[in-house]
Amino acid sequence: MIKNALLVFIGGGLGSVLRYLISKYLNNASLPLGTFTVNILGSFLLGITFGLILKYQPASSTANLLFGVGFCGGFTTFSTFAVENQVFLRTGDYSHFLLYAFGSLFFGILAVFLGLFLSKLF
């Protein structure tokens, strides 16, 4: 149990730091491109991770804990996504709200499918 928690901790820490760096450099005043990028990229990485784990290892594997639960869980951020959308709605910026909310949903799901598809090639 401690080993599993440590794997999640390490992966989550690495994912969180990378999310911070990407968001710091890509977020701007008009659109949170950093959060959008990490959520889409994280969805893609999670699709690849789970596709490869399902293909080669059981779901309780260390790879799942380190990369799927830890890294991807720390890297992506639904709570920040929700707050950023609330700001768009509160300020009446409905065009950015629609673009960001529905773009994130569409491209996030598409990225998972793409990751799962690509994982079959390995």
14-62 residue pLDDT tens: 999 999 999 999 988 788 999 999 999 999 999 998 888 888 876 568 8
One-letter amino acid of 108:
G
Does the pLDDT value for residue 104 go beyond 70? yes
18 DSSP 8-state letter: H
The whole-model pTM stands at: 0.84
Query: What average pLDDT does the segment 62-71 reach?
Result: 90
Cα distances from 86 to residues 10, 17, 93, 98, in angstroms, run: 31, 24, 10, 12
- Looking at the chain, list the stretches that DSSP marks H as alpha helix, in order from N- to C-terminal side: 2-26, 33-56, 62-63, 73-75, 78-90, 94-119
Among 45, 52, 57, 59, residue whose Cα is nearest residue 11? 45
**Residues 92 and 26: beta-carbon distance below 8 Å:** no
Number of domains in the chain: 1
**How far is residue 41's CA from residue 60's CA, in Å, rounded to a whole number?**
23
Q: Residue 21 is part of which domain span?
A: 2-119
Closest listed residue to residue 40, CA positions, set 14, 75, 65: 75
The pLDDT of residue 77: 84
pLDDT tens-digit series, residues 77-94: 888 899 999 999 999 999
Which tokens is 43 given? 């969805």
- The pLDDT value recorded for residue 58 is 67
- What integer pLDDT is reported at residue 60 of this predicted model? 62
